[in-house]
Protein backbone atom coordinates (compact mmCIF):
# COMPACT_ATOMS: atom_id res chain seq x y z
CA UNK A 1 0.00 0.00 0.00
CA UNK A 2 1.35 3.43 -1.01
CA UNK A 3 0.59 6.81 0.52
CA UNK A 4 0.01 9.59 -2.03
CA UNK A 5 -0.03 13.21 -0.82
CA UNK A 6 -2.42 14.90 -3.24
CA UNK A 7 -1.43 18.45 -2.37
CA UNK A 8 2.25 17.63 -2.84
CA UNK A 9 1.43 16.00 -6.19
CA UNK A 10 -0.37 19.17 -7.28
CA UNK A 11 2.35 21.51 -5.99
CA UNK A 12 5.30 19.65 -7.51
CA UNK A 13 3.76 18.75 -10.85
CA UNK A 14 5.58 20.07 -13.89
CA UNK A 15 3.50 22.07 -16.34
CA UNK A 16 2.36 19.64 -19.03
CA UNK A 17 -0.41 18.98 -21.53
CA UNK A 18 -2.94 18.47 -18.73
CA UNK A 19 -2.27 21.94 -17.32
CA UNK A 20 -2.18 23.47 -20.79
CA UNK A 21 -5.60 22.04 -21.63
CA UNK A 22 -7.07 23.35 -18.39
CA UNK A 23 -5.49 26.78 -18.89
CA UNK A 24 -6.86 26.94 -22.45
CA UNK A 25 -10.46 26.13 -21.51
CA UNK A 26 -10.54 28.34 -18.42
CA UNK A 27 -9.01 31.26 -20.33
CA UNK A 28 -11.46 30.74 -23.18
CA UNK A 29 -14.34 30.89 -20.69
CA UNK A 30 -13.04 34.21 -19.33
CA UNK A 31 -12.55 35.59 -22.87
CA UNK A 32 -16.20 34.76 -23.63
CA UNK A 33 -17.21 36.30 -20.30
CA UNK A 34 -15.25 39.44 -21.19
CA UNK A 35 -16.88 39.62 -24.63
CA UNK A 36 -20.32 39.36 -23.06
CA UNK A 37 -19.54 42.13 -20.56
CA UNK A 38 -18.22 44.46 -23.25
CA UNK A 39 -20.98 44.19 -25.83
CA UNK A 40 -23.50 46.26 -23.87
CA UNK A 41 -21.20 49.28 -23.69
CA UNK A 42 -20.30 48.95 -27.35
CA UNK A 43 -23.90 48.62 -28.53
CA UNK A 44 -25.51 50.99 -25.99
CA UNK A 45 -25.87 54.01 -28.34
CA UNK A 46 -27.67 51.82 -30.89
CA UNK A 47 -29.87 50.25 -28.19
CA UNK A 48 -30.82 53.70 -26.82
CA UNK A 49 -31.74 54.92 -30.28
CA UNK A 50 -33.70 51.79 -31.16
CA UNK A 51 -35.66 51.65 -27.89
CA UNK A 52 -35.89 55.42 -27.43
CA UNK A 53 -34.57 55.43 -23.86
CA UNK A 54 -32.88 58.19 -21.90
CA UNK A 55 -29.41 58.07 -20.42
CA UNK A 56 -30.89 57.39 -16.97
CA UNK A 57 -32.85 54.36 -18.19
CA UNK A 58 -29.84 53.19 -20.18
CA UNK A 59 -27.78 53.28 -16.99
CA UNK A 60 -30.28 50.98 -15.29
CA UNK A 61 -30.13 48.61 -18.25
CA UNK A 62 -26.35 48.43 -17.97
CA UNK A 63 -26.41 48.06 -14.18
CA UNK A 64 -28.80 45.09 -14.35
CA UNK A 65 -25.98 42.75 -15.37
CA UNK A 66 -23.76 44.13 -12.58
CA UNK A 67 -26.42 43.33 -9.98
CA UNK A 68 -26.73 39.86 -11.48
CA UNK A 69 -22.97 39.41 -11.30
CA UNK A 70 -22.95 40.30 -7.60
CA UNK A 71 -25.61 37.68 -6.88
CA UNK A 72 -24.01 35.15 -9.22
CA UNK A 73 -20.58 35.43 -7.61
CA UNK A 74 -21.99 34.54 -4.19
CA UNK A 75 -24.54 31.97 -5.39
CA UNK A 76 -22.43 30.04 -7.91
CA UNK A 77 -19.24 30.35 -5.88
CA UNK A 78 -20.98 28.56 -3.01
CA UNK A 79 -22.96 26.15 -5.20
CA UNK A 80 -19.78 24.96 -6.96
CA UNK A 81 -18.59 23.35 -3.74
CA UNK A 82 -21.69 21.16 -3.76
CA UNK A 83 -22.32 20.34 -7.43
CA UNK A 84 -18.67 20.33 -8.53
CA UNK A 85 -16.69 23.07 -10.24
CA UNK A 86 -16.84 21.51 -13.71
CA UNK A 87 -20.64 21.55 -13.69
CA UNK A 88 -20.68 25.06 -12.23
CA UNK A 89 -18.43 26.40 -15.01
CA UNK A 90 -20.60 24.73 -17.67
CA UNK A 91 -23.79 26.02 -16.01
CA UNK A 92 -22.44 29.58 -15.94
CA UNK A 93 -21.35 29.46 -19.58
CA UNK A 94 -24.66 28.00 -20.69
CA UNK A 95 -26.57 30.62 -18.68
CA UNK A 96 -24.79 33.77 -19.79
CA UNK A 97 -24.66 32.62 -23.42
CA UNK A 98 -28.36 31.71 -23.60
CA UNK A 99 -29.66 34.84 -21.91
CA UNK A 100 -27.30 37.15 -23.78
CA UNK A 101 -28.73 35.77 -27.01
CA UNK A 102 -32.25 36.26 -25.63
CA UNK A 103 -31.39 39.92 -24.91
CA UNK A 104 -31.32 40.43 -28.68
CA UNK A 105 -35.04 39.64 -28.72
CA UNK A 106 -35.91 42.20 -26.03
CA UNK A 107 -38.36 44.81 -27.26
CA UNK A 108 -38.28 47.20 -24.32
CA UNK A 109 -35.85 48.36 -21.60
CA UNK A 110 -37.51 46.35 -18.80
CA UNK A 111 -37.29 43.06 -20.70
CA UNK A 112 -33.70 43.81 -21.66
CA UNK A 113 -32.74 44.58 -18.03
CA UNK A 114 -34.38 41.39 -16.71
CA UNK A 115 -32.65 39.18 -19.25
CA UNK A 116 -29.30 40.87 -18.63
CA UNK A 117 -29.72 40.38 -14.87
CA UNK A 118 -30.13 36.63 -15.43
CA UNK A 119 -27.14 36.60 -17.79
CA UNK A 120 -25.20 38.42 -15.07
CA UNK A 121 -25.68 35.46 -12.72
CA UNK A 122 -23.50 33.37 -15.02
CA UNK A 123 -21.13 36.21 -15.84
CA UNK A 124 -20.40 36.81 -12.16
CA UNK A 125 -20.49 33.18 -11.09
CA UNK A 126 -17.88 31.83 -13.46
CA UNK A 127 -14.97 33.99 -12.22
CA UNK A 128 -14.66 32.69 -8.62
CA UNK A 129 -15.12 29.09 -9.75
CA UNK A 130 -12.39 29.36 -12.38
CA UNK A 131 -10.07 31.17 -9.96
CA UNK A 132 -10.51 28.36 -7.43
CA UNK A 133 -10.01 25.67 -10.08
CA UNK A 134 -6.83 27.17 -11.54
CA UNK A 135 -5.45 27.71 -8.03
CA UNK A 136 -5.98 24.04 -7.19
CA UNK A 137 -4.44 22.53 -10.31
CA UNK A 138 -1.61 24.93 -11.19
CA UNK A 139 1.88 23.91 -9.97
CA UNK A 140 3.05 25.95 -6.97
CA UNK A 141 5.65 27.94 -8.94
CA UNK A 142 3.08 28.77 -11.64
CA UNK A 143 -0.02 29.32 -9.48
CA UNK A 144 -0.38 33.09 -9.38
CA UNK A 145 0.52 33.69 -12.99
CA UNK A 146 -1.83 30.89 -14.09
CA UNK A 147 -4.72 32.79 -12.50
CA UNK A 148 -3.64 36.18 -13.83
CA UNK A 149 -3.04 34.80 -17.34
CA UNK A 150 -6.51 33.30 -17.27
CA UNK A 151 -8.18 36.51 -16.14
CA UNK A 152 -6.32 38.58 -18.71
CA UNK A 153 -8.89 36.98 -21.00
CA UNK A 154 -11.31 39.73 -19.95
CA UNK A 155 -9.28 42.31 -21.86
CA UNK A 156 -9.00 39.96 -24.84
CA UNK A 157 -12.77 39.50 -24.79
CA UNK A 158 -13.23 43.26 -24.80
CA UNK A 159 -10.99 43.63 -27.85
CA UNK A 160 -12.88 40.84 -29.64
CA UNK A 161 -16.18 42.56 -28.81
CA UNK A 162 -14.90 45.85 -30.23
CA UNK A 163 -13.76 44.18 -33.47
CA UNK A 164 -16.96 42.19 -33.94
CA UNK A 165 -19.08 45.19 -33.00
CA UNK A 166 -17.29 47.36 -35.52
CA UNK A 167 -18.03 44.85 -38.24
CA UNK A 168 -21.65 44.08 -37.34
CA UNK A 169 -23.30 47.01 -35.55
CA UNK A 170 -23.71 49.47 -38.40
CA UNK A 171 -24.53 46.87 -41.05
CA UNK A 172 -26.73 44.42 -39.18
CA UNK A 173 -27.85 46.11 -35.96
CA UNK A 174 -27.04 45.75 -32.28
CA UNK A 175 -28.92 42.44 -31.99
CA UNK A 176 -26.23 40.60 -33.97
CA UNK A 177 -23.50 41.05 -31.35
CA UNK A 178 -25.84 39.51 -28.76
CA UNK A 179 -26.67 36.58 -31.03
CA UNK A 180 -22.92 35.98 -31.41
CA UNK A 181 -22.71 35.89 -27.60
CA UNK A 182 -25.03 32.87 -27.67
CA UNK A 183 -22.68 30.72 -29.74
CA UNK A 184 -20.58 29.50 -26.75
CA UNK A 185 -23.49 27.21 -25.83
CA UNK A 186 -22.10 24.91 -28.52
CA UNK A 187 -18.84 24.63 -26.56
CA UNK A 188 -20.42 23.47 -23.28
CA UNK A 189 -20.35 19.71 -24.08
CA UNK A 190 -16.69 19.94 -25.13
CA UNK A 191 -15.81 21.85 -21.95
CA UNK A 192 -17.50 19.20 -19.80
CA UNK A 193 -15.30 16.57 -21.41
CA UNK A 194 -12.04 18.55 -21.33
CA UNK A 195 -12.11 20.20 -17.88
CA UNK A 196 -11.35 17.88 -14.92
CA UNK A 197 -13.31 17.96 -11.70
CA UNK A 198 -11.62 19.10 -8.49
CA UNK A 199 -9.44 16.33 -7.03
CA UNK A 200 -10.68 17.04 -3.55
CA UNK A 201 -14.29 17.13 -4.70
CA UNK A 202 -13.79 13.70 -6.27
CA UNK A 203 -12.30 12.37 -3.04
CA UNK A 204 -15.22 13.76 -1.09
CA UNK A 205 -17.58 11.79 -3.29
CA UNK A 206 -15.49 8.61 -3.23
CA UNK A 207 -14.70 8.68 -6.96
CA UNK A 208 -11.20 7.28 -6.40
CA UNK A 209 -10.71 5.79 -9.86
CA UNK A 210 -10.99 9.30 -11.35
CA UNK A 211 -8.53 10.61 -8.75
CA UNK A 212 -5.97 7.99 -9.77
CA UNK A 213 -6.48 8.86 -13.45
CA UNK A 214 -5.90 12.58 -12.83
CA UNK A 215 -2.83 12.00 -10.65
CA UNK A 216 -1.40 9.89 -13.47
CA UNK A 217 -1.84 12.87 -15.82
CA UNK A 218 -0.17 15.19 -13.31
CA UNK A 219 2.77 12.80 -12.89
CA UNK A 220 3.41 10.55 -15.93
CA UNK A 221 5.67 8.34 -13.76
CA UNK A 222 2.82 7.47 -11.41
CA UNK A 223 1.33 4.03 -12.06
CA UNK A 224 -2.13 3.79 -10.44
CA UNK A 225 -2.86 0.97 -7.99
CA UNK A 226 -6.21 0.20 -6.45
CA UNK A 227 -4.75 0.05 -2.91
CA UNK A 228 -3.20 3.53 -3.04
CA UNK A 229 -3.88 5.56 0.10
CA UNK A 230 -4.27 9.30 -0.42
CA UNK A 231 -3.22 11.92 2.14
CA UNK A 232 -5.23 15.11 2.35
CA UNK A 233 -4.94 18.26 4.43
CA UNK A 234 -7.36 18.00 7.31
CA UNK A 235 -10.85 19.15 6.41
CA UNK A 236 -10.02 19.85 2.79
CA UNK A 237 -11.99 17.11 1.10
CA UNK A 238 -14.07 15.99 4.06
CA UNK A 239 -15.04 19.35 5.57
CA UNK A 240 -18.21 21.15 4.54
CA UNK A 241 -18.35 24.15 2.22
CA UNK A 242 -20.76 26.29 4.20
CA UNK A 243 -20.26 30.04 4.41
CA UNK A 244 -19.59 29.71 8.15
CA UNK A 245 -16.29 28.03 7.21
CA UNK A 246 -15.02 31.44 6.07
CA UNK A 247 -15.07 32.57 9.70
CA UNK A 248 -13.45 29.54 11.33
CA UNK A 249 -9.84 28.78 12.28
CA UNK A 250 -8.90 32.44 12.66
CA UNK A 251 -10.17 33.50 9.23
CA UNK A 252 -12.92 35.92 10.38
CA UNK A 253 -10.96 39.18 10.22
CA UNK A 254 -9.12 38.25 7.04
CA UNK A 255 -12.37 37.26 5.32
CA UNK A 256 -13.85 40.70 6.00
CA UNK A 257 -10.61 42.31 4.86
CA UNK A 258 -10.80 40.40 1.57
CA UNK A 259 -14.29 41.81 1.11
CA UNK A 260 -12.90 45.31 1.67
CA UNK A 261 -10.08 44.69 -0.81
CA UNK A 262 -12.45 43.48 -3.53
CA UNK A 263 -14.92 46.33 -2.91
CA UNK A 264 -12.24 49.02 -3.06
CA UNK A 265 -10.46 47.46 -6.04
CA UNK A 266 -13.64 47.16 -8.08
CA UNK A 267 -14.69 50.67 -7.04
CA UNK A 268 -11.43 52.05 -8.41
CA UNK A 269 -11.53 49.93 -11.57
CA UNK A 270 -15.09 50.85 -12.54
CA UNK A 271 -14.80 54.46 -11.43
CA UNK A 272 -11.72 54.99 -13.58
CA UNK A 273 -12.93 53.01 -16.60
CA UNK A 274 -16.38 54.68 -16.54
CA UNK A 275 -15.23 58.29 -16.25
CA UNK A 276 -11.71 58.48 -17.68
CA UNK A 277 -12.90 59.45 -21.17
CA UNK A 278 -15.24 62.13 -19.81
CA UNK A 279 -12.62 63.59 -17.47
CA UNK A 280 -9.94 63.76 -20.16
CA UNK A 281 -12.40 65.29 -22.62
CA UNK A 282 -13.38 67.92 -20.05
CA UNK A 283 -9.66 68.66 -19.59
CA UNK A 284 -9.53 69.73 -23.24
CA UNK A 285 -8.49 66.55 -25.03
CA UNK A 286 -10.34 65.49 -28.17
CA UNK A 287 -12.60 62.45 -28.08
CA UNK A 288 -10.05 60.52 -30.15
CA UNK A 289 -7.29 61.30 -27.68
CA UNK A 290 -9.55 60.43 -24.73
CA UNK A 291 -10.32 57.04 -26.29
CA UNK A 292 -6.60 56.48 -26.81
CA UNK A 293 -6.17 56.93 -23.07
CA UNK A 294 -8.70 54.13 -22.54
CA UNK A 295 -6.65 51.92 -24.85
CA UNK A 296 -3.55 52.72 -22.78
CA UNK A 297 -5.50 51.80 -19.65
CA UNK A 298 -6.36 48.35 -21.02
CA UNK A 299 -2.89 47.65 -22.40
CA UNK A 300 -1.50 48.51 -18.99
CA UNK A 301 -4.07 46.17 -17.43
CA UNK A 302 -2.82 43.16 -19.41
CA UNK A 303 0.83 43.94 -18.62
CA UNK A 304 0.03 44.58 -14.95
CA UNK A 305 -1.98 41.39 -14.51
CA UNK A 306 0.63 39.12 -16.07
CA UNK A 307 3.54 40.95 -14.46
CA UNK A 308 1.85 40.95 -11.07
CA UNK A 309 1.19 37.22 -11.30
CA UNK A 310 4.80 36.56 -12.33
CA UNK A 311 6.12 38.54 -9.36
CA UNK A 312 3.64 36.93 -6.95
CA UNK A 313 5.03 33.48 -7.79
CA UNK A 314 8.54 34.66 -6.91
CA UNK A 315 8.03 36.92 -3.90
CA UNK A 316 5.21 37.43 -1.41
CA UNK A 317 1.86 37.78 -3.18
CA UNK A 318 0.74 39.95 -0.26
CA UNK A 319 3.62 42.38 -0.82
CA UNK A 320 2.92 42.46 -4.56
CA UNK A 321 -0.78 43.24 -4.03
CA UNK A 322 -0.04 45.97 -1.47
CA UNK A 323 2.53 47.57 -3.78
CA UNK A 324 0.19 47.47 -6.78
CA UNK A 325 -2.59 49.22 -4.87
CA UNK A 326 -0.25 51.91 -3.54
CA UNK A 327 1.23 52.46 -7.01
CA UNK A 328 -2.31 52.67 -8.40
CA UNK A 329 -3.17 55.39 -5.89
CA UNK A 330 -0.05 57.41 -6.76
CA UNK A 331 -0.51 57.13 -10.53
CA UNK A 332 -4.22 58.03 -10.42
CA UNK A 333 -3.62 60.93 -8.03
CA UNK A 334 -0.94 62.39 -10.31
CA UNK A 335 -3.23 62.43 -13.35
CA UNK A 336 -4.69 65.74 -12.27
CA UNK A 337 -1.29 67.42 -11.90
CA UNK A 338 0.24 66.98 -15.37
CA UNK A 339 -0.67 67.97 -18.92
CA UNK A 340 2.31 66.40 -20.69
CA UNK A 341 0.80 63.85 -23.09
CA UNK A 342 3.59 61.29 -22.80
CA UNK A 343 3.45 61.42 -19.01
CA UNK A 344 -0.33 61.05 -19.08
CA UNK A 345 -0.10 57.91 -21.21
CA UNK A 346 2.52 56.51 -18.85
CA UNK A 347 0.48 57.28 -15.72
CA UNK A 348 -2.71 55.87 -17.24
CA UNK A 349 -0.89 52.72 -18.31
CA UNK A 350 0.47 52.28 -14.78
CA UNK A 351 -2.99 52.98 -13.36
CA UNK A 352 -4.51 50.30 -15.59
CA UNK A 353 -1.84 47.79 -14.66
CA UNK A 354 -2.13 48.46 -10.94
CA UNK A 355 -5.94 48.69 -10.68
CA UNK A 356 -7.27 46.03 -13.04
CA UNK A 357 -4.08 44.04 -12.53
CA UNK A 358 -4.40 44.28 -8.74
CA UNK A 359 -7.98 43.06 -8.90
CA UNK A 360 -6.87 39.97 -10.81
CA UNK A 361 -4.00 39.34 -8.38
CA UNK A 362 -6.56 39.63 -5.56
CA UNK A 363 -8.40 36.65 -7.08
CA UNK A 364 -5.15 34.69 -6.98
CA UNK A 365 -4.46 35.72 -3.38
CA UNK A 366 -7.94 34.75 -2.17
CA UNK A 367 -7.63 31.43 -4.00
CA UNK A 368 -4.37 30.66 -2.20
CA UNK A 369 -5.66 31.85 1.17
CA UNK A 370 -8.73 29.64 1.56
CA UNK A 371 -8.57 25.85 1.93
CA UNK A 372 -9.87 23.95 -1.06
CA UNK A 373 -13.24 22.93 0.41
CA UNK A 374 -14.29 26.59 0.84
CA UNK A 375 -12.09 28.13 -1.86
CA UNK A 376 -14.78 28.89 -4.43
CA UNK A 377 -17.12 29.96 -1.61
CA UNK A 378 -14.53 32.40 -0.24
CA UNK A 379 -13.70 33.88 -3.63
CA UNK A 380 -17.39 34.01 -4.57
CA UNK A 381 -18.40 36.00 -1.49
CA UNK A 382 -15.46 38.38 -1.84
CA UNK A 383 -16.23 38.97 -5.52
CA UNK A 384 -19.98 39.21 -4.95
CA UNK A 385 -19.83 41.73 -2.11
CA UNK A 386 -16.98 43.51 -3.85
CA UNK A 387 -19.14 43.86 -6.95
CA UNK A 388 -21.20 46.45 -5.08
CA UNK A 389 -18.14 48.70 -5.42
CA UNK A 390 -18.48 48.39 -9.19
CA UNK A 391 -22.15 49.34 -8.92
CA UNK A 392 -21.63 52.38 -6.68
CA UNK A 393 -18.47 53.77 -8.28
CA UNK A 394 -19.93 55.17 -11.53
CA UNK A 395 -22.78 56.81 -9.59
CA UNK A 396 -20.65 58.33 -6.81
CA UNK A 397 -17.84 59.49 -9.08
CA UNK A 398 -20.46 60.89 -11.46
CA UNK A 399 -22.01 62.89 -8.60
CA UNK A 400 -18.58 64.17 -7.64
CA UNK A 401 -17.87 65.28 -11.21
CA UNK A 402 -21.25 67.00 -11.24
CA UNK A 403 -20.02 69.24 -8.40
CA UNK A 404 -17.62 70.84 -10.92
CA UNK A 405 -14.58 70.48 -8.67
CA UNK A 406 -11.03 70.94 -10.03
CA UNK A 407 -9.86 67.99 -12.13
CA UNK A 408 -7.19 66.94 -9.62
CA UNK A 409 -9.80 66.51 -6.88
CA UNK A 410 -11.69 63.97 -8.97
CA UNK A 411 -8.59 61.87 -9.50
CA UNK A 412 -7.59 62.11 -5.84
CA UNK A 413 -11.05 60.84 -4.89
CA UNK A 414 -10.56 57.83 -7.19
CA UNK A 415 -7.14 57.17 -5.67
CA UNK A 416 -8.34 56.96 -2.04
CA UNK A 417 -10.03 53.51 -2.37
CA UNK A 418 -6.74 52.05 -3.66
CA UNK A 419 -4.99 53.25 -0.48
CA UNK A 420 -7.72 51.64 1.65
CA UNK A 421 -7.30 48.39 -0.31
CA UNK A 422 -3.54 48.42 0.36
CA UNK A 423 -4.13 48.92 4.09
CA UNK A 424 -6.66 46.07 4.16
CA UNK A 425 -4.20 43.73 2.42
CA UNK A 426 -1.56 44.61 5.02
CA UNK A 427 -3.73 43.23 7.84
CA UNK A 428 -4.73 39.94 6.19
CA UNK A 429 -3.34 37.12 8.32
CA UNK A 430 -1.29 34.22 7.05
CA UNK A 431 -3.61 31.19 6.56
CA UNK A 432 -3.21 28.41 9.10
CA UNK A 433 -1.35 25.32 7.89
CA UNK A 434 -3.59 22.29 8.01
CA UNK A 435 -2.43 19.04 9.55
CA UNK A 436 -2.35 16.12 7.14
CA UNK A 437 -4.93 13.38 7.45
CA UNK A 438 -5.15 9.96 5.90
CA UNK A 439 -7.95 8.74 3.73
CA UNK A 440 -8.32 4.97 3.84
CA UNK A 441 -7.53 2.86 0.81
CA UNK A 442 -10.44 3.19 -1.61
CA UNK A 443 -12.49 0.37 -2.92
CA UNK A 444 -11.77 -0.69 -6.49
CA UNK A 445 -14.13 1.43 -8.59
Residue 209 lies in a domain: no
How, if at all, do strands 229-233 and 436-439 pair?
antiparallel
pLDDT at 40: 79
Residues 333 and 387 in one domain: yes
Residues 142 and 257 in one domain: no
Residues 153 and 284 in one domain: no
Distance CA 36, CA 10 (A): 32
The arrangement of strands across the sheet holding 229-233 comes to 3-5, 229-233, 436-439
Q: What is the pTM of this model?
A: 0.79
Domain extent at residue 390: 243-426
Residue 20 lies in a domain: yes
Residues 349 and 292 in one domain: yes
CA 306 → CA 151, 273, 325, distances in Å? 9, 19, 15
Residues 189 and 254 in one domain: no
The domain spanning residue 332 has which CATH number? Answer: 1.20.1250.20
Q: Give CA angle at 93 (108, 162), nearest 5°.
A: 65
Number of domains in the chain: 2
Residues 314 and 406 in one domain: yes
Indicate the helix (H) or strand (E) that contains 231: strand 229-233
Residue 376 lies in a domain: yes
Q: Are 30 and 154 in contact (CB under 8 A)?
A: yes
Residue 215 lies in a domain: no
Taking residue 87's Cβ as centre, other Cβ atoms within 10 Å add up to 16
Residues 116 and 256 in one domain: no
Residue 230 lies in a domain: no
Residue 225 lies in a domain: no
pLDDT at 194: 92
Q: Are 198 and 214 in contact (CB under 8 A)?
A: no
Residues 196 and 327 in one domain: no
Residues 114 and 261 in one domain: no
Residues 296 and 157 in one domain: no
Distance CA 123, CA 56 (A): 23
Residues 185 and 275 in one domain: no
Mean pLDDT split into 10-residue runs, the chain, 445 residues = 79 88 94 86 78 73 84 86 88 94 91 92 91 89 88 83 78 89 94 90 83 86 78 52 79 94 91 74 67 77 88 91 96 85 89 90 90 84 87 78 81 92 93 46 39
Residues 256 and 200 in one domain: no
pLDDT at 271: 81
Nearest to 269 by CA among 76, 117, 421, 157: 421
Choosing from 152, 178, 204, the residue where a domain stops is 204
Sign of the alpha-carbon dihedral angle for 220, 193, 121, 81: negative
pLDDT at 440: 40
pLDDT at 164: 83
pLDDT at 445: 36
Residue 130 lies in a domain: yes
Residue 224 lies in a domain: no
Give the DSSP letter string of 137-162: HS-GGGHHHHHHHHHTHHHHHHHHHH
CA 2 → CA 41, 88, 227, 231, 313, distances in Å? 56, 33, 7, 10, 31
Amino acid sequence: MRQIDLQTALDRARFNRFHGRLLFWCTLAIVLDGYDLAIVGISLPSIMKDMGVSSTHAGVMVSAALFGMAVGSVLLGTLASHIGRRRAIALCMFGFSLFSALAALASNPVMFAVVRFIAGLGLGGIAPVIAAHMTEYAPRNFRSIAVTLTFSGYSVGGVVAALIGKGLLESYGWQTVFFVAGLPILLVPFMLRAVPESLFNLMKRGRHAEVRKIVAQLDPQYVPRTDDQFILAQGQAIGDARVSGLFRDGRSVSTVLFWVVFFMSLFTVYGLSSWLTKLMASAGYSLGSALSFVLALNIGAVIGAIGGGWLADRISIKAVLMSMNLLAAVSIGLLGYTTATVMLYLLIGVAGGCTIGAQIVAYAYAGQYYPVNIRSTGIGWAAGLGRSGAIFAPVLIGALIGMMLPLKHNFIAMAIPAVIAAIAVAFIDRPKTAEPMFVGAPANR
